[in-house]
Amino acid sequence: MTKDSQRMTQSVTRSLANPTIHRSVLDNGIVLITVENPAADIIAGRIFARVGGRWEPREQAGLSHLLSTVLTKGTDRLSSLEIAERVESVGASLGADAAADYFLLSLKTVSADFPEMLQLAGELLRRPSFPEAEVELERRLALQDIRSQQEQPFTIAFDQLRQAMYQNHPYGFSSLGTEATVSGLSRADLQQYHQTYFRPDNLVISLAGRLTPQDAVDLVNQVFGDWQSGTTPLPTLSLPQITPEPISCATPQDTQQSIVMLGYVAPSVQETDYACLKLLNTYLGNGLSSRLFVELREKRGLAYDVSAFYPTRLETSQFVVYMGTAPENTAIAYEGLRTEVERLCTTQLSDRELQAAKNKLLGQYALGKQTNAQLAQVFGWYEILGLGIEFDTEFQEKVTSVTPEFAKQVACRYFTEPYVSLVGPAEKLNIKT
């Protein structure tokens, strides 16, 4: 057994169809997921940190997003230009992103160049310099994005709905933050945030491609093995309770169409009904064959755009249906959306309808795991959310086992009184909810 092998404190291998997924916990607390997939000479990496929108103080909303834009712009020995040249010289890709429940650094390159790119990623994670000029530039760009979104009716409606549903909870804010919060962010804020949360016992590294689990352990130990977390515990996350109180909100705007949006409080990814609601979301609003599209756009001609979405969240989520419609159809659109959602509580889906939704959902799920980048993303994401690599098969089994009777029961649990968000010409927004 090699020295690096001895550094592993836990190792689990699961054969989930093809390819094989291997999970290790390294000596310094890093969780390493290896997806051995020799089909292509590409290795993709995803480095997740347990930090994101949920960890931001309310007055610093947008901090994770700003950090993601600046993290790749300099280290204590490399400039932004030098970093870009190193990535582009080997045709690799490297970038950072922030979500509500995690932070992500992504990289991809041919196998021969992967050690060099992982070394660069490690330097960015461990020793970012946050150059003042880059911080100021990215902050200005973020403010431009925020102002641009404030002119988009859909974004206005969704922000309004999200704020009504979550109030002071971090899920109530856009990942970009607000003009007020982003304007107040500083380089010192980024440094403090980074020093607090970017540490090995708070990371998941997921690698997929032409490498063995031992290769992955060796590579990660070379780059991160000497990184220690110290003795300071991670801050305890304390968030406000989400107490459902459905209300209606309207923003008058002189637009060519009205946005009608309904939101229902829905379970987190860790709750029993999650898989069933994902299936109902597929049935209602996923694609041109979905119930909302066929009934409200194709048959009744009400919608410019109509759909549904149900974000995967570590805490209480939201099930949202929405429509863009002609202003004169605002009231009819509201009734149509609500009727289609509540129909799931009164009319049991047929076996045929349910099976079609299952086929669509599971087919799209399989297509989302075709490339090494997708594999690294999916299995690292499961781990950072605390679901484990077994969730891959568990989710599919739960979807397959949903019956028409159970689907109706779940719908009745959540699709009761909706939050309502409207944007459009003032004279068309006075509807009975």
- Looking up residue 198, the CATH number of its domain turns out to be 3.30.830.10
Asked if residue 208 and residue 113 are part of one domain, the reply reads yes
pLDDT band at 12 (very low <50, low <70, confident <90, very high): low
**Per-residue model confidence (pLDDT) at position 18:** 53
Strands 93-98 and 258-266: unpaired
Last residue of a domain, one of 191, 224, 257: 224
What tens digit of pLDDT does each residue of 77-135 get? 999 999 999 999 999 999 999 999 999 999 999 999 999 999 999 999 999 999 999 99
Work out the pLDDT band at 337, boundaries 50, 70, 90: very high
- Whether 107 is in a domain gets the answer yes
Same domain, 163 and 286: no
The closest alpha carbon to 380, from 241, 237, 214, 206, belongs to 206
DSSP, collapsed to helix, strand or coil, labels residue 19 as coil
Instruction: Note whether 9 and 73 are same-domain residues.
Output: yes
Query: In the chain, how many domains are there?
Result: 2
The three-state (H, E, C) secondary structure of 338-366, written as one string: HHHHHHHHHCCCCHHHHHHHHHHHHHHHH
Average pLDDT value for residue range 54-67: 96
Please tell me whether residues 260 and 207 are part of one structural domain.
no
Rounded CA gap, 391 and 23, in Å?
13
Cα distance between residue 267 and residue 310, in whole Å: 10
Segment holding 252, helix H or strand E: strand 248-252
Nearest to 381 by CA among 40, 49, 55, 17: 49
Looking at the structure, do residues 312 and 396 belong to the same domain, yes or no?
yes
Rounded CA gap, 305 and 413, in Å? 27
* Residues 48 and 183 reside in one and the same domain: yes
260 and 392 assigned to the same domain: yes
Instruction: Round to whole Å and give the CA distance between 93 and 108.
Output: 5
Q: What is the pLDDT of residues 359-391, one digit of tens each?
A: 999 999 999 999 999 999 999 999 999 999 999
Would residue 414 count as lying in a domain?
A: yes
Question: Does the residue 215 lie in any domain?
Answer: yes
pLDDT score, position 429? 87
* pLDDT band, very low/low/confident/very high, at 9 (cuts 50, 70, 90): very low
DSSP, residue by residue, 407-428: HHHHHHHH-SSPEEEEEE-GGG
Give the pLDDT score at 431: 72
Segments forming the whole domain that contains residue 347: 248-428
Helix (H/G/I), strand (E/B), else coil: 296: helix
- DSSP conformation class of 128: B
For residues 5 and 267, the model is more confident at 267
Question: What pLDDT score was predicted for residue 433?
Answer: 66
Are residues 135 and 9 part of one domain? yes
Q: Which residues contact 386 (CB under 8 A, 6 or more apart)?
A: 270, 314
Domain-located, residue 390: yes
Residues 76 and 37 in one domain: yes
User: Would 149 be classed as within a structural domain?
Assistant: yes
- Report yes or no on 242 lying in a domain: no
Percent of the chain predicted with pLDDT > 90: 90
Residues 51 and 105 in one domain: yes
How many Å apart are CA 169 and CA 271, to the nearest integer?
19
- Smallest Cα–Cα separation from 222: which of 32, 11, 22? 32
- pTM score > 0.85 for this model? yes
- Comparing 1-10, 63-72, 107-116, 273-282, which segment has the lowest mean pLDDT? 1-10
- On whether residue 168 sits in a domain, the answer given is yes
Looking at the fold, whether 218 and 267 belong to one and the same domain comes out as: no
Specify if 239 maps to a domain. no
* Predicted local confidence at residue 230, as pLDDT: 85
Q: Is the pLDDT of residue 168 over 80?
A: yes
For residue 159, what are its two tokens? 């922000």
Tell me the average pLDDT of the chain: 94
Higher pLDDT, 6 or 335: 335
pLDDT, mean of residues 231-237: 92
Dihedral in degrees, nearest 10, Cα atoms 176, 275, 292, 430: -50
pLDDT band at 20 (very low <50, low <70, confident <90, very high): confident
Position 419 scores a pLDDT of 98
pLDDT of residue 4: 42
Residue 164 pLDDT greater than 80, yes or no: yes
Q: Is the bond into 19 cis (omega within 30 degrees of 0)?
A: yes
Average pLDDT on 348-360 reads: 97
